[in-house]
Structure 1
Amino acid sequence: MTTNSAGPLADTAAYAAAVEEAERAAAAYYTAGESTLDDDAYDRLVRAIAAYEEEHPQEVLDASPTGKVAGGAVSGDVPHTVPMLSLDNVFSAEQFVTWTASVERRIGRPVAAWSVEPKLDGLAVAARYRQGVLEQLITRGDGTAGEDVSHAIGTVLGLPERLGAPATLEIRGEILMTTEQFEAANAVRTEHGAAPFANPRNGAAGTLRAKDRPYRVEMTFFAYGALALPDSGELTDTLAGLPHSEVLEYVAGIGVHTAADTAVAPRTVTTVEEVQAGVEDIAALRASLPFGIDGIVIKADLAADQRDAGSGTRAPRWAIAYKLPAVEKVTRLLGVEWNVGRTGIIAPRAVLEPVEIDGSTVSYATLHNPADITRRDLRLGDHVMVYKAGDIIPRIEAPVAHLRTGEEQPIEFPEACPRCGSEIDASEQRWRCTRGRDCRLVASISYAAGRDQLDIEGLGTTRVVQLVDAGLVQDFADLFTLERDQLLSLDRMGETSTDNLLAAIGAAASRPLSRVFCALGVRGTGRSMSRRIARHFASMDRIAAADVEALQQVDGIGKEKAAAVVRELQELAPLIGKLVAAGVNMTEPGATPPPEPGAAQEGEAEESATSGLPLAGMTVVVTGAMTGALEKLSRNEMNELIERAGGKSSSSVSKRTSLLVAGEKAGSKRTKAEDLGVRIAAPEEFAELVQAHLAVEV
């Protein structure tokens, strides 16, 4: 952790200490990906150093990180053909506008076009190809020379060993670990007795340099530029004159991975306002990306504009990194709480030394399960890397092992259920109280009665507690057998409130099967998965009779999840039986049951089930506030409507999106849909399109 606040530096001694700390942190960061500082703390420290140097130019130390690639902390023995520079940063829209004005003053004209693309959180490398064959892989180093890491050739997705054309050139880009690759890498490392990586960048940096590991770890490459090598022939003039956007198209065309096929594909725009919109769009997608970004890179697109703007010793003057608020910070693990969920799952939660991440103070983080704690080798008192993006619950990625002092203590696991003292079923990774839902009966019933499940108005937690304490309900099926006299006997239950509650329970009994199935709270399923299961099987009888193979025919269910659902349904069989006996609906309106084995292939069955429906084969995204006939529908109810009408609901706009329903204040999703040429419908138009299905009660 930093030893100063990275605020204004008071004097020469504070400045010297800050430079020393930055030098030490940069050396650890750019060599092994390890550092005593997270990115945000390092950025703040360097800004404080730069501010002091601006006021005291006569005191600038040679070791200062300002004006140097990689903070001046690293070097290499393989010279770059053209300097491989870093990027300067801006942190606000105002700073960005000031920077664009400086670029246009320098070149003496408006910039013709801007490229807007994600700033990938990885390790910059140069890949040298000769006659289409990858011969050498070099790190950025100090910008003039880098380290030869050619031993990693063949381990990086998106960086082919042979191109689709016999080109001689150097392709520059970022090597990183996706979230999936990072999790797989840490699983492999811990199996071999090594400490887990603290974060994906740490993993990529360490893996890229490792030569003699007894295991292989996969990484991914994204190209952000290319240049001709001295003996490239005609390609030299071709690449030198191409706009940046066309260079990326050329690179992708010969088989190298770029960000073009991701949700944050680079875009070319002409105005500062369009750049700002692009920044907002990419920032909005950050939490959903399968890889890390820490900002957006804006570049002058035309080669002439780049040439006239020129470059400094550290960074080009025609490109800038618009940094986003940090979503990753280092803090301390103070304790672990063990909470019991509504299905009896015992979930550990980390208690953290409070830290500000992405605009909010984080004091807790998820730890998933006991096996995860063991695998990551977490200990009380550890410095830990905490990650948070958007509305995602903060999570601990790994301990920062090189900061350990020896005073850290093991985390103690509970020997009995922390809530009721019953035995714990530890046969699976997620531990569970042997009483299951009975351990959290009130929570289980309240969940079933919630708006997105059975939607029983008037049945809040307080009322559920009354019913449980009075012995009137032992599960939510008992709600459907409650009698008027029983409810009238409860405190604060008059005739009107009793009749209203009974009417709401009666309405709940006719909800679609997807709602009833969701109310069961089957582990591994939620609202969307419950709808898919209900539509696929059409009735509860068929769901209950399904085996692992049959459940795998549902989109999004793999072998492991299918087996878990089968086990859960067997456990829930008595509850399902009570619901049937109480007259609760067990069918899905409009759903077609699957054909008998051999009658049709999976794709044919799905097509048959949705053919003729207004949204058949369409992927639909909803954004903004709905109006008209859709005004009172929740987002979950909108998704139900889409799926009943034959479509698939999605939360993000991409090339696969067929239709965007854009309400008031649609924002960045509408902009992205317009850029991609996706059809856009107002709420009123969409309501008319699905009118017959809108009439079905949601």
Structure 2
Amino acid sequence: MTDAQTAAERIAQLRSELDAHNYRYYVLDEPSVPDAEYDRLFRELQALEEAHPELVTPESPTQRVGGNAASAFGEVRHEVPMLSLGNAFEEQDLLDFDRRVREGLADLLPAGDLFGGGAEVEYSCEPKLDGLAVSLLYENGRLVRGATRGDGTTGEDISANVRTVRNIPLRLQGEGWPEVLEVRGEVYMSRAGFEALNARAVETGGKTFANPRNAAAGSLRQLDAKITASRPLEFCAYGVGRVDGELPDTQIEMLEALKRWGVPISRELKLVKGAAECRAYYQDIGERRDSLAYEIDGVVFKVNRIEFQRELGFRAREPRWAIAHKFPAREELTELLDVEFQVGRTGAVTPVARLKPVQVAGVTVSNATLHNMDEVARLGLMIGDTVIIRRAGDVIPQVMQVVTERRPADARPVQVPTVCPVCGSQVERTQLVKRGKGKESVSEGAIYRCVGRLFCQAQLKQSIIHFVSRRAMDIDGLGDKIVEQLVDKGLAKSPADLYTLAYEQVVELEGFADLSTRNLLASIADSRRPSLARFIYALGIPDVGEETAKLLARALGSLERIMKALPEVLTYLPDVGQEVAYEIHNFFGDEHNCKVIAELLERGIELQEEGDVAAEFAACATLPGFIDKLNIPGIAATGAKKLAESAGDLEAIIALSQDWLTLATLKGLNEKARQSLRDFFSVADQAQRARDVEAQLREFGMHWQSQRKVVEGLPLAGQTWVLTGTLEAMSRDVAKDKLESLGAKVAGSVSAKTHCVVAGPGAGSKLAKATELDVRVMDEEGLLALLAEHGLDA
């Protein structure tokens, strides 16, 4: 046997021993050798690998020291989205969650007892670690990738860094693990590790961290993995993502399987039954919270049976089968040093408390939100006061109460600035307009607003930042700092100026060179063909979020109609109330906003997906409903119906309102209602407004005399589809969008209720599950043919 063979055998033996010791120390918490012995074995392995570098492998325990500094993190697209959890802050929230779970599983749970008690659901329980969510991808038992959660859909590739976390196995132990296994969990820092890290920073004159979570997140996102390797990070698994293979059919058994394969899980993991046992677990962990070795901010409850999890599915960005029950916020006393005012995208001038720094639930708090001046008045807050600070939901610092008995003699009242602290324009208090039957009431609002609009650099910067954001115009590379430079240098006085930027202007910006300049200009050019919905959202209309923007685009079909729509017409759209309707109308009635939109269109914006008013809104108005929407005092739905039946059209109703003798004979209206009708249409402006609204309904094809359209159901409505494997003609996101546009629900897992699975190259467990359940399977060619059949291109 050669020396190399002898060394290889000893290296293999040492690696096996060290892996076993790591498993017993980090996963089982049962170290079998003292630290000195572990260190001796480790040093021996290091010496052998230095003598035989050809025998070094990435899985060796010695390779957890990190590599050279990286220039940036790559992106990782999560095949199964890393969703956030819904929160419970009160006991009733937990009870409501349990009730919704039982209602959702009504057909699968056994019947209750004779005395009315319903069947109880089994839940897995574990503490909610305060760290950074990560994904670990294992292929054939080897760790091949680590990624951050990111926005849930796209994270950052931190593979080099996660390899340095000492309790993350580089190879899975035992046997039986799936061919592809994505483990999800939390990277965190223990209290002791955090304190030691900060103590070293103080000794070396370095920067200290505010809390263990920030320390863990900052450590894991170092460009130099050697720095990550020097930090006392740990990992705890709480679930899985992509799996190509078989796993146990309960949450608890699945986590226990991960533990057998060398992956750390919570030592506090427990199975309970019903809401009462969940509450008992929550109370127990809460009482022991300060004695735990790590920071937690609550408890996570998950329906234990995986089958039940699939049945319950997801809502928006969170699963229906899990909830995080947060602990009550922790409070501390501190001093209010000052109140400053910040200016937001819509011009709102918001007070912010500047506090004497204080530790609240492990975080150093020096600023807190005050929301608005009504909140300042409610608190009776004065500068110099001692205040109670709370981290609401352990996240947002908030001033809860003033300790008036500690108020100093020199305390000063909080004064709203009369001019904007950024641009010097006037600051005005908003007016609240409440519209009812025949009258409007105006009161002072809680918000103060800078009237400078885009002349105000704070508003301009925030407007452009919103305009270029991913869910709006999606201009990659235009981050906050770059937008600030463009505004400060006078290169962007409105969002439209982005489309006139020249190479010479961009390349002079801080941080730009030839390639980055060309990339940014290309990204701006690529954004010139947004969907109508994206463009409406990007404009930043007050109270108009993504869903309302999509509704406006789908319902009215064109920018021209949206811009000219009267508030009364907008209220025919679902979930658009009077206040939002007036916000939309007022936005497009503003001369400056119209000028910016015109400039955007002149500079090359080409809106996509414009068309006619949606079929379901054609002839959607009725004459009785129209009369009711006029808000004539004393005339509700019944009276409106009587008027419509008697008169037949608007002009006849206006004429009838002034014909007192005929009106007096009309049944169904009392004298007060008849007088209100007469008074309403006696005002020329009100009669003309009613005519204008009717004319627009007719113009849009929404009038009761307009031609009705056949409302055809979407071809895939009610069907659940699943995408798996690699698609070549389009990304999975694009395929999902196109299937959803045809009415399909695109799910992340296969069940007996799945209508079809689209399987590309590399499809694994989902394809196998579809075959097992006899679910229809389609390849990418079939998907493209289906999309083409319905007029959709790849």
Q: When the two structures are superposed, what TM-score results if normalisation uses the length of structure 1?
A: 0.44
Highest RCO, 1 vs 2 (Cα 8 Å, sep ≥ 6): 1
Q: Which protein is bigger by CA-based radius of gyration?
A: 2
Q: When the two structures are superposed, what TM-score results if normalisation uses the length of structure 2?
A: 0.40
